[in-house]
């Protein structure tokens, strides 16, 4: 596993200081909005608005000041200030993976007039040192695959690509077409659970599980799990694509409030048509409840099958990791 030592230089810049939640949120929101305007989707716009609103809410600010190191919100970070103006930012978002703590470095942004002066490098290095000081050795970040400058920046700092994943979205539609195929869509049968879990574990590996706030155990068959889901009011749906009595692929819908909620399970030898048929079924069945559905999947695997079901690719993110 790649490991990296942070240079002491990261602390020597007079213009670099910790983010002050009480003071800086509105200016950081403006900077993020400007720097990401080309690629910002609705979720990103909401995020910036929330940040601005939070910056004006005194009770939130008092709470956030205390909670900065324990919530999965970007409340910790570093900024670069010149002549009283914030021109650079790097946020640190804490996550927990079982017993281990993980940091995500996010919102690395530098004002366009001040780029290529080493500001992002200094901010990212300082964020890495922060993790080191908190005894967190596992640091991640997400970078779009069409952002070579940022990829180079992180690679120079010791980050290594661990996964490349595409986010997809489709509108639901009760009239979405049905494929002409010999593959049948059925409810998930309990005997297929172990295979489904094996396939899910390949596509959504443990290495990336720190980003999820639940486990695939919620898809397990049986009365106890059914009662549990009822108790926590979690409306899970599952379908399987079957040919000649054999499961070709499965699809689960897990509403997690964040939108990326469809989890296909498929083997690399399965017929891609099975995935297309399942996704079309989900577009039909979920149309009374949700206007749009999304999924996140290893990029290039089954891209054609996902496109054929009427999904559009929103972005491909490279997941990079550094171990301190």
**Which burial class, exposed, middle or buried, applies to 300 when counting CB atoms under 10 A from its CB (0-12, 13-18, 19+)?**
exposed
Residue 82 in contact with residue 114, Cβ under 8 Å?
yes
- Between CA 199 and CA 149 the distance in angstroms is 34
- CB of residue 12 vs ligand COA: minimum separation in angstroms? 15
Binding site for ligand COA (CB under 6 A): 35-36, 108-110, 115-121, 143, 147, 149-150, 152-153, 156
In the complex, least distance from residue 148 CB atom to ligand COA, rounded to whole angstroms? 6
| Helix, strand and coil percent figures for the chain, each rounded to 5 | 40, 30, 30
Q: How far is the CB of 26 from ligand COA (least distance, A)?
A: 18
The smaller minimum CB distance to ligand COA, of residues 35 and 309, is found at 35
DSSP tag of 3: B
Alpha-carbon span 284 to 185, nearest angstrom: 12
Residue 172: CB minimum distance to ligand COA, A: 31
Q: Is 175 exposed, middle or buried (0-12, 13-18, 19+ CB in 10 A)?
A: exposed
Whichever of 35 and 102 has its CB closer to ligand COA, that residue is 35
- Residue 87 Cβ, how far from ligand COA at the closest point, in Å? 9
Minimum distance, C-beta of residue 268 to ligand COA, in the bound complex (Å):
30
Report how far residue 144's alpha carbon sits from residue 52's, in angstroms, rounded to the nearest whole number: 24
Geometric angle at alpha carbon 268, from 262 and 274, rounded to 5°: 55
Closest chain position to ligand COA (CB): 149
Shortest separation between residue 50's beta carbon and ligand COA, angstroms: 19
Of 122 and 247, which has the nearer Cβ to ligand COA?
Answer: 122
8/223 with CB nearer ligand COA: 8
Q: Report d(CA 164, CA 16) in Å as an integer.
A: 31
How many angstroms separate the CA atoms of 114 and 123, rounded?
13
Residue count of the chain: 324
In this complex, which beta carbon is closest to ligand COA, that of residue 145 or of residue 173? 145
Minimum distance from CB of 36 to ligand COA (Å)? 6
| Rg of the Cα atoms in the chain | 22
* Comparison of 156 and 312: residue with beta carbon closer to ligand COA: 156
Using alpha carbons, select from 280, 293, 248 the residue that is nearest to residue 266: 248
Nearer to ligand COA, 115 or 284 (CB): 115
Name residue 316's beta-bridge partners. Answer: 166
Nearest by Cα to 142 from 99, 169, 89, 103: 103
Nearer to ligand COA, 242 or 322 (CB): 322
């Amino acid at each position: 596993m790649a490991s990296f030592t942070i240079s002491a230089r990261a602390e020597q810049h007079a213009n670099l200081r910790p983010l002050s939640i009480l003071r800086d949120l509105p200016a950081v929101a403006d900077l993020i909005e400007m720097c990401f305007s080309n690629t910002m989707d609705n979720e990103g716009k909401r995020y910036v608005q929330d940040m601005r609103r939070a910056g004006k809410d005194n009770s939130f600010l008092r709470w956030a000041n205390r909670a900065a190191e324990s919530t999965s919100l970007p409340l910790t970070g570093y900024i670069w200030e010149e002549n009283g103006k914030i021109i650079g930012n790097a946020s640190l978002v804490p996550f927990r993976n079982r017993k281990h703590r993980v940091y995500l470095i996010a919102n690395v942004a530098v004002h366009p007039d001040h780029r290529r002066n080493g500001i992002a490098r200094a901010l990212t290095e300082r964020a890495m040192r922060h993790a080191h000081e908190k005894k967190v050795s596992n640091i991640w970040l997400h970078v779009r695959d069409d952002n070579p400058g940022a990829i180079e920046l992180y690679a120079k700092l010791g980050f290594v690509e661990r996964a490349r994943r595409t986010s997809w979205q489709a509108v639901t539609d009760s009239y979405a077409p049905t494929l002409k195929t010999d593959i049948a869509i059925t409810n998930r049968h309990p005997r297929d659970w172990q295979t489904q879990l094996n396939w899910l574990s390949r596509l959504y590996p443990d290495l990336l599980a720190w980003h999820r706030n639940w486990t695939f155990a919620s898809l397990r068959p049986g009365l106890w799990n059914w009662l549990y889901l009822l108790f926590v009011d979690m409306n899970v749906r599952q379908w399987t694509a079957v040919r000649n009595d054999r499961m070709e692929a499965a699809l689960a819908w897990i509403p997690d409030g964040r939108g990326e909620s469809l989890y296909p399970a498929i083997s690399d030898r399965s017929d891609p048509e099975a995935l297309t048929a399942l996704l079309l079924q989900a577009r039909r069945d979920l149309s009374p409840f949700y206007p749009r559905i999304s999924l996140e999947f290893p990029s290039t695997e089954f891209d054609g099958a996902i496109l054929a079901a009427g999904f559009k690719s929103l972005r491909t993110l490279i997941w990079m990791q550094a171990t301190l």
